[in-house]
Amino acid sequence: GRSWLHLAISADEDRNRRVTAVTTAMRLLLIASAVGLSQQLGAVPASTARVQRSRSAAPRAVEAHRGALRSRLVGIGSAAPDTVVTNEQLSSVVETSDDWISQRTGIRQRHLLAPGEGLSTLAARAAQKALESSGVDAASVELVVLATSSPDDLFGDAAHVAREVGATGAVAFDLTAACSGFLFGVTTASQFLHTGAYKTALVIGADALSRWVDWSDRNTCVLFGDGAGAVVLQAAVDGEGEEGVLGFALHSNGAGRPDLCLGYAGVERPLASVASVTTGTYAPISMVGKEVYKFATSRVPEVVGEALENAGVTADEVDWLLLHQANIRIMETVAKKLKIPMSKVINNLDEYGNTSAGSIPLALDAAVRAGKVKKGDVIAMAGFGAGLSWGSAVVRWG
């Protein structure tokens, strides 16, 4: 009797296991069919969506976003030293002439800081004008970025400039990228605004390269002047369509460093018999003109094209092309390659020369004040210079 009962129980257990297996398989088949149908209809179950998100999380995290940023340019200002030196006057300092300089560079004069005048004072003047232009209270500024390669204080001028204009609650720091500095500064500050970390920023480009020029070298001393420009940026709060930075692209290549540099040239100082250190100083600006020209005329059109593509804007839709004010021949070549007429190229090179990080905002301020650049205009900006570094941003003014 016990043997028969044992066999009956075993048979029932086996049958139950088979039923369970079949039921499980049918459920899985139904789930798979439902998922397939949902995918075809565009609706994915929540559990499946979570799995898909987890699988795609890594690629999305590293996906580049160089398109529109929720950052608007709402104010501009500039400042330059009172001292002006014309090409003719410079010919009494070094063997050159107005024709020689202007035909090769487009420069006719430059503004130079006098002894006792500081770069931070110049930067603060430009920043104050930008705040006045925007109608923004300095106390509401949360971020100050000062792009410069020639600060009064090697530890940085930004905090001092922020205090001078009344932005006492702002975090402030210097950014060094030479002639690309202002453009790098705008894109850096815009990231903070885009993410919501800050709502209002002040970006200043300022340089005094007259401090670091060899005034006996006519190939470099004729190029540079001193100046500063600033913009006020605010986070766009009205959503899509209100972005001021439409797209950007940034690059650098340290292999080109010897072509344009301002190198450390410390003098050895022994510390008794303990060690030797150096007393700090820098050599004058060194530039291989032909290499810089080739670099600028090849890389700048490329990077402007990248920024335009990232912005979803064509060259025909650009109202203004604003390049770092380095050399008129570079500007003409870049404009030609982009098929943008020179009538759309903003240029004040003849008055200020190459003011490095100050050149783009100086030129933009003049164009805004002259009524050329109007609210809603699309501007393709590009900076390039030492590093080597180069970049472009497509912005909508106002």
Active site residues: 179, 324, 354
The backbone torsions φ and ψ at residue 318, rounded to the nearest 5 degrees and listed phi first, read -80, 130
Contact by Cβ (8 Å): 109, 86: yes
Side-chain-side CA neighbours of residue 112 (13 Å)? 19
Bridge partners of 249, per DSSP, are 392
Cα separation, 6 vs 300, in Å, equals: 88
With CA atoms as reference, report the closest residue to 160 among 193, 200, 129, 204.
204
DSSP code of 395?
Answer: E
Cα separation, 84 vs 80, in Å, equals: 9
The backbone torsions φ and ψ at residue 75, rounded to the nearest 5 degrees and listed phi first, read -160, 155
Element holding 309 (H helix, E strand): helix 289-311
Cα separation, 223 vs 285, in Å, equals: 11
With CA atoms as reference, report the closest residue to 229 among 396, 79, 74.
79
